[in-house]
């Protein structure tokens, strides 16, 4: 299933894309009385994803055509900051070290975690605010994001799939000189408009676990990143087990799994974004997240 947040006649709502992709079934019409995606996720944690799947199979009399709605980010306002993994592909670790003029030892014994504040996630087709009055080196990062489906604490790696609601695409937009200046990543990755997300959440049951999917990015049609989520240094089971051992992951938690090589800072010379650039983040089986810089 594809879970969506959409705008219809000025009202935001959560829903499911019909199996043939032509319609949107409002969650309320399927018996899930919620105001938004956060509410739907909470209901799914109680009722189970299978209940929604069965409702979708029965069809929906109040369906909307996809032409009638505007898709927003699937979780426009997450309950908490996004949890992110840094340098979680070996080739990106190498290019990051080159950019920072650091020695790369070829090993990553421990995962690198940081958080990213999201005031409001940018919709598919929406604008990336470049903040060019303060940002000189604007970069893109295509990432697979995991959405936690129910409260997770003390989860074993072999149980991790049971706690995943589904997957979406994140563009972890980054201001590189702010990262460097402040010696940490939070500020430089958390400016307003720095988190395009979408186009929807594809539920976990649509893929083998953990998913091994092609991941790419393009800038103005030019392929920049081209890898596979099977190459993650620290995979989804490891991350859920490690994090949930010491913290409770609530339903709706978003975990961005890191980006592969090919970001702007990895080129020589670097190739950062400018106003008018169109960025596409593409993940096999999920779709394309396309946004324009301004």
State pLDDT tens for residues 60-103.
989 999 999 999 999 999 999 999 999 999 877 677 767 666 66
Q: Are 25 and 14 in contact (CB under 8 A)?
A: no
Q: How confident is the model at residue 97, as a pLDDT?
A: 64
Q: What is the pLDDT of residue 102?
A: 64
Query: Which runs of E-coded beta strand occur in the chain?
Result: 2-8, 11-17, 23-26, 64-65, 70-71, 82-86, 112-116, 127-128, 138-139, 142-148, 164-171, 174-175, 197-203, 214-219, 222-228, 254-256, 278-283, 287-293
Closest CA to 289 of 175, 160, 141: 141
| pLDDT tens for each residue of 142-200 | 999 999 999 999 999 999 999 999 999 999 999 999 998 998 899 999 999 999 999 99
> Would you say 244 and 155 are in contact if contact means Cβ atoms under 8 Å apart?
yes
Assess whether the previous peptide bond of 78 is cis (omega < 30° from 0): no
Per-residue confidence band for 236, with pLDDT thresholds at 50, 70 and 90: very high
Distance, in Å, from the CA atom of 33 to the CA atom of 263, rounded to the nearest integer, reads: 41
pLDDT tier at 108 (50, 70, 90 boundaries)?
confident
Query: Which pLDDT does position 109 carry in this prediction?
Result: 86
Sign of CA dihedral 278, 274, 258, 7: negative
Percent of the chain with pLDDT over 70: 96
Please indicate whether residue 107 or residue 261 has the higher confidence score (pLDDT).
261
How many angstroms separate the CA atoms of 270 and 101, rounded?
A: 13
Instruction: Report yes or no: 169 and 218 within 8 Å, Cβ to Cβ.
Output: no
Considering the chain, what is the average pLDDT of its residues?
95
Write the pLDDT tens digit of every residue in 209-221: 999 999 999 999 9
Phi, psi of 57 (to 5 degrees): -60, -30
pLDDT of residue 91: 79
pLDDT score at 80: 93
């Amino acid at each position: 299933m594809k879970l969506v947040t959409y705008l219809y006649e000025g009202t935001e709502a959560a829903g499911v894309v019909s199996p043939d992709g032509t319609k949107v079934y409002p969650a309320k019409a399927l018996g899930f009385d919620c105001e938004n995606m956060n509410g739907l996720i909470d209901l799914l944690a109680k009722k189970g994803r299978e209940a929604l799947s069965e409702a979708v199979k029965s069809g929906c009399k109040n369906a909307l055509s996809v032409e009638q709605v505007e898709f927003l980010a699937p979780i426009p306002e997450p309950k908490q900051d996004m949890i992110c993994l840094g340098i979680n592909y070996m080739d990106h670790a190498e290019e990051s070290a080159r950019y920072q003029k650091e020695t790369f030892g070829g090993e990553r014994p421990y995962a690198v975690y940081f958080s990213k504040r999201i005031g409001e996630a940018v919709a598919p087709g929406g604008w990336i605010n470049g903040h060019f009055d303060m940002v000189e080196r604007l970069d893109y990062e295509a990432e697979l994001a995991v959405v936690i489906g129910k409260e997770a604490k003390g989860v074993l790696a072999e149980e991790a799939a049971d706690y995943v609601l589904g997957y979406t695409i994140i563009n972890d937009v980054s201001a590189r000189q702010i990262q460097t200046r402040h010696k940490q990543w939070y500020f430089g990755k958390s400016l307003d408009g720095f988190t395009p997300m979408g186009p929807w959440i594809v539920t976990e049951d649509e893929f083998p676990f953990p998913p091994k999917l092609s991941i790419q990015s393009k800038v103005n049609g030019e392929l920049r990143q081209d890898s596979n989520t099977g190459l993650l240094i620290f995979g989804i089971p490891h991350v859920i087990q490690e994090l949930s051992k010491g913290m409770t992951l609530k339903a709706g938690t978003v975990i961005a799994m890191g980006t592969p090589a090919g970001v702007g800072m990895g080129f020589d010379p670097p190739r950062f974004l400018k106003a008018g650039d169109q960025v596409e983040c593409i993940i096999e089986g999920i779709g394309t997240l396309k946004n324009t810089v301004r």
